[in-house]
Amino acid sequence: MAARTKGQAPLVELTSGSVEETRAFGERLGRLLRPGDVVALEGELGSGKTTLIQGIAQGMDRDPGTVKSPTFVLVREYPGAVPIVHVDGYRLEPPATAASLDVELLFAPHKVTLIEWAERFAGLLPEERLVIRMGHVSANRRRLSLAPSGERPQAIVRQMASTHGPAGD
C-alpha cells in the first residue's frame, strides 16, 4: 500500500489493491484507536467501508466475522475491552437531523464509534473525528484519503503514516 503525505497538510492518501490489504490497513488503524475516537467513513456503495471496519475490529481484538453491514439497523455494538459502535447510514433518509436521530447515543467517551455513510450525518458528528474517504479505482483497487479533524485524529494519522515507512512525494 503506497502512502503519500501532501505537503504540510495532515492528509494521507493510500491505495489498496485487495480486500486483504484494506483489512490489514484497518487492523493497523484499529490497534491505534482509543476510547472516545470517532472514525467517519465516506464513499459510495462497495467502496470498502465495511471491509475496513472488519479490519479495525480485528485490530481491536474482535472477531472480524461478527462485523456485518447493519443494513436494516442504524447501529450495532460489538462488546469488548473498548466497545465498538458500528453505525451505518445506508438506510438514512438524507438529510439526517438532530431531531430525527438521537446522535448522542452513538458516541461515548469509553467507546470507539465507526460510521459508514458519514456524509449523511453532516453537522451531527463530533468536531474531532478521523474522516476516511473511500472510492473505487478499479475492480480490486480502492483509494483511501485520511482527513483528520482535531489533534487526536491528527496524531492517529501521523502514527499511521510513520508505520508506512518514509512518506513523501
Ligand X SMILES: Nc1ncnc2c1ncn2[C@@H]1O[C@H](COP(=O)(O)OP(=O)(O)O)[C@@H](O)[C@H]1O
Binding site for ligand X (CB under 6 A): 16-19, 21-22, 43, 45-51, 69, 116, 140-142
User: Could you tell me the smallest distance in angstroms from the CB atom of residue 25 to Mg ion?
Assistant: 16
Among ligand X, Mg ion, none, what does residue 51 contact (CB within 5–8 Å per kind)? ligand X
Q: Grid coordinates representing 133?
A: 474517504
User: Could you tell me the smallest distance in angstroms from the CB atom of residue 48 to Mg ion?
Assistant: 8
Q: Is 69 in the site for Mg ion (CB under 5 A)?
A: yes
User: Could you tell me the smallest distance in angstroms from the CB atom of residue 156 to ligand X?
Assistant: 20
> 150 — alpha (psi -120 to 50), left (phi > 0) or beta?
left
Residue 18, helix vs strand vs coil: coil
Residue corresponding to grid cell 442504524:
74
Between 18 and 97, CB nearer to ligand X: 18
Between 10 and 54, CB nearer to ligand X: 54
Write out the DSSP string of 102-154.
Answer: -GGGG--TTSEEEEETGGGGTTTS-SSEEEEEEEEEETTEEEEEEEEESHHHH
